[in-house]
């Protein structure tokens, strides 16, 4: 199978640190803490939000299942 090239005028497939700035200003606020930068770039980033929601839903379902079995587990056992 032939390898396909990127569409014309699509730009580079990678970006250098100099290209990650807007109008000469860095994308990272120097007064921003490491925690808030992590939350902004890893938790609430638009490209990562759907995966994070899936993780939260899976963990919630798992914990909810444990709580249901611990609370009403005797109802699942036949007498």
Reduced to 3 states (helix: H, G, I; strand: E, B; else coil), residue 55 is: helix
Distance CA 55, CA 49 (A): 10
Distance CA 11, CA 27 (A): 20
Per-residue pLDDT of the chain (79 residues; tens, 9 = 90+): 666 777 777 776 666 665 555 555 556 678 889 999 999 999 999 999 999 999 999 999 999 999 999 999 999 998 8
- Per-residue pLDDT at 79: 81
Reduced to 3 states (helix: H, G, I; strand: E, B; else coil), residue 32 is: coil
Q: Return the closest-CA partner of residue 61 out of 73, 53, 49.
A: 53
Reduced to 3 states (helix: H, G, I; strand: E, B; else coil), residue 78 is: coil
DSSP structure class, residue 13: S
């Amino acid at each position: 199978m032939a390898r396909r090239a990127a569409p014309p005028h699509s730009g580079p497939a990678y970006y250098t640190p100099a290209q990650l700035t807007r109008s000469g200003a860095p994308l990272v606020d120097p007064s921003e803490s490491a925690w808030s930068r992590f939350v902004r770039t890893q938790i609430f980033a638009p490209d990562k939000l759907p995966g994070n929601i899936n993780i939260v839903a899976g963990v919630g379902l798992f914990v909810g299942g444990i709580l249901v079995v611990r609370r009403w587990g005797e109802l699942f056992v036949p007498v």
